[in-house]
Each structure stands twice: as C-alpha cells, then as structure tokens.
Structure 1
Amino acid sequence: MAAAHANPASALYASCAAVHSASARLLLRAQGEGTARADMNGDDLFALMTALGWAIDQPSFAPRADHLVHLVTGAILTNPSNNDAKKAMC
C-alpha cells in the first residue's frame, strides 16, 4: 500500500492514490486552520497512516491500537484535545 499510490501498474493504485490525495487535501485544510503541523506534507501523512495501519493490524500491537492512534494524532495536530483525537480516530 505504501508504494501503490505511486505505481499505476498496481491493482491498488486507484484506491491508494485517492486516499493519498484526500488525506493531503485534509492536511492542507488543517494546516490552513493552524490545527496541523506545518512541517509535513501529504506524503508524510500517508506514510504515517500506512505505518499505523500496518502496526495496528499486528496481533501484538492490537491491544494498544487506540493508544497508537492517539500518539500519531498527537504528533500531527498542533493542539490536540481529547475531542480532536477522538474525531481523528473516526
């Protein structure tokens, strides 16, 4: 998945490219509102999302999935409140 968004020959290209594009737009909007770090781009966000998706799919990390999502969300948002982190997890 991490490389599929840049490989038109991949069967996952269309769906991964769409997720990459949508998440980049959401990030830009959040950055414009001052609620997301300004020093990251869509590629950074996609990398974090794919890494998080892989991690929480592993049985050894599954019990800590919510905590891992909260950590990553906290690293992206500039002023994460509990409500913001919960919204980001949905």
Structure 2
Amino acid sequence: MAAKRAPSKKTPSELGRRRKKNPLIAAEIETVDYKDISLLRTFISDRGKIRSRRVTGLTPQQQRQVATAVKNAREMALLPFTIR
C-alpha cells in the first residue's frame, strides 16, 4: 500500500492559474449604483446575461450588488433585457 501524501499548499500562480483582478477595487468603487450604466455593461455578456463571479473576479458581496443593480437598471429601462 502506498503512503499517503500530504496535500500541497501551492498558490494559484504556482498551479498555473491566475486570479482575475477585481475591477471594482481597481476603480475604487465601494457600492454599485444602478444608474452607472457604463460600469454595469462591463458585467453583462454580449447576449445580455449577467457574467458569473468566476469571470468577473468580484467578491460574493460585490457580485450580489452588481446583479441587483443590473436587475434594477433593467426595470428602469436603462439597460435592455436582451440585446439584438
């Protein structure tokens, strides 16, 4: 029987993965406003879907703020529900 190995503690860069930079922290934005359409468009795909946290690099709290802001902007007719 082979001996068990201890799990290695490697950082994402050592594993070949890179973390995506958080765009809200880079722009020094603390809260997401539904009226900031240019910011919200960066978090929407070309088909009109809200991009996932894995793609955007946001924290869970920021992703919830972005999702709520996008939904509010759609209700206020600032953003389209679908893009042709």
Normalised by the shorter chain, which TM-score bucket?
Answer: under 0.3
Q: TM-score, normalized by length of structure 2?
A: 0.28
Q: TM-score, normalized by length of structure 1?
A: 0.26
Going by fraction, where is helix more abundant, 1 or 2?
A: 1
